[in-house]
Amino acid sequence: LTFPLLSVTLLVSFGSSMLYGYNLAVVNSPAAHIKAFYNATWSRRYGHGLASGPLTLLYSLTVSIFALGGLVGSLLVGVLVERYGRNGALSRSALLILLAGGFMGFSRELGSPEMVIIGRSITGLHSGRCCGVVVVPLYLGEIAPKNLRGFLGLMPSIFICLGIFFAQVLGLPELLGEDRFWPLFLSVVVVPASLQLLLLHCFPESPRYLLIERNNICGASKALHWFLGTPDVQDVIEEMKGEQRSLSSVEMVSVWQLLQDRSVCWQTLSVVVVNAGMQLSGIDAIWFYTNTIFENAEIPVSQIPYTTVGTGAIEVVAGLIGCFTIEKLGRRPLIISGFCTMGICLAGITVSLLLQTALPWMRYVGVACVVGIIAGFCMGPAGIPFLMTAELFTQSHRPAAYIVGGSLNWLCNFTVGFIFPFLQMSAGAFCYLFFCGICLLVALYVYLVIPETKNKTFMEISHTFT
């Protein structure tokens, strides 16, 4: 692992993937302050406050509009990466965060809840275009040697966990958790985006993109020399030329062509299952509404922010364990065990909520289950679906596959973020059993269908499916 390869991995993960994690969790701790702002603004405008139902609906929209923006952004990825390349797409997308930070940062001063919602949608648009869901894993998957592809492929998931953890720490009452600081809390995202915007132009484009899609052998060789730190890159060049020759009669496929292509139907189905399953596993409900879940478990209100930070620290540790063991254990064991752990813990939350009135100690079982869900997710399901999307397809199909996976990811993210409060009100403790079933079914599918891809070239993986 060379310093240039590590530095570009850290920069794009810090400036994009970490923002995704931060924006997933940033609305959790200031929920009461944002609702109070909405209510006060509504009262000033119309002479009366909002009832509980409409206020919940407005806040649910604020939470879930992030995913709707991500869905729109993921649909634009194909054009973006084809026109500007991986590096260029990341640089241009960082400008969106500066705009979003301005909207959210000045929303209270201007008395405009609409600016919060617009800012959230723009951060989602940025995340859908470039974060850990699409361009970052695509870029890292293409610059990494095959023996490091798993390690670098999970780095974005580590930074997603770090982003969530930073949001939880900054949301403490001693830092930015007070009512007067929540606009600043939402707009902190401009700092890593600005750093990425300033530094990313110093790094070269993906060698695989330069050679296969732009036929720029000289540029690809220079980029490989820079990333790998060795003058001898001929073997890698020959491998990419072989892939280019195999694709010489095949144009870059569209999403519609991908869905119609029978030769990759199992790969496409696998991308659909793991990406949709990742979001329908219930992890977004846990991240968006951690404080609410802990309140329902009757954890004292004063202790909830610190309990939440504790879960964030555990998810970072779990992500690091997954990152440093994936090249030894492989993809399949981590993702299967992760989904199984989540399924068991989701069932455990249901049991703990049903029994905590009769058995007060069950509330601690509920907290342990939340920790188990987050740890299980961060060990495998957090990053491996993105890595698999890169590994299961050759260059001609890969951008379209990322659009399919990213779109499903965001659509499911929006659905869970929007309906979970209402599902929780109607189904109570049993709402978690739906997510439990999804987790166990995805684990079974991966076990039966998806092969191990560790230390295989993209062409070897494609032949395995064939």
Q: What is the pLDDT of residue 341?
A: 92
| CATH number of domain containing 328 | 1.20.1250.20
Contact (CB, 8 A) for 399 and 86: no
- Residue 7 φ then ψ, to 5°: -65, -40
Query: Is 326 found in the same domain as 424?
Result: yes
pLDDT mean by block of 10 residues, the chain; 466 residues:
84 85 82 88 84 82 82 75 77 85 89 89 81 70 78 79 86 84 90 88 83 83 84 80 70 78 85 87 70 70 78 80 79 89 90 81 81 84 78 76 79 76 77 89 91 74 72
* Domain-located, residue 95: yes
The total of structural domains in the chain comes to 2
**Reported pTM:** 0.76
Query: Is 167 found in the same domain as 260?
Result: no
Smallest Cα–Cα separation from 144: which of 400, 403, 327? Answer: 327
CA angle 22, 25, 27 (to 5 degrees): 110
Query: Is 264 found in the same domain as 197?
Result: no
Beta strand residue intervals within 250-300, DSSP E: none
- Distance between CA atoms of residues 227 and 223, nearest Å: 6
Q: What is the pLDDT of residue 248?
A: 64
Query: Is 266 found in the same domain as 172?
Result: no
CA angle 238, 239, 244 (to 5 degrees): 90
Q: What is the pLDDT of residue 309?
A: 81
**Which domain range does residue 8 map to?**
1-203
In total, the chain counts a number of residues equal to: 466
Query: Is 43 found in the same domain as 136?
Result: yes
* Domain-located, residue 82: yes
* Domain-located, residue 224: no
Q: What is the pLDDT of residue 314?
A: 82
Query: Is 266 found in the same domain as 128?
Result: no
- Going from the C-alpha of 92 to that of each of 2, 69, 99, 193, 368, the distances in angstroms are 26, 16, 12, 10, 41
* Side chain identity at residue 427, one-letter code: A
Query: Is 272 found in the same domain as 192?
Result: no
* Domain-located, residue 233: no
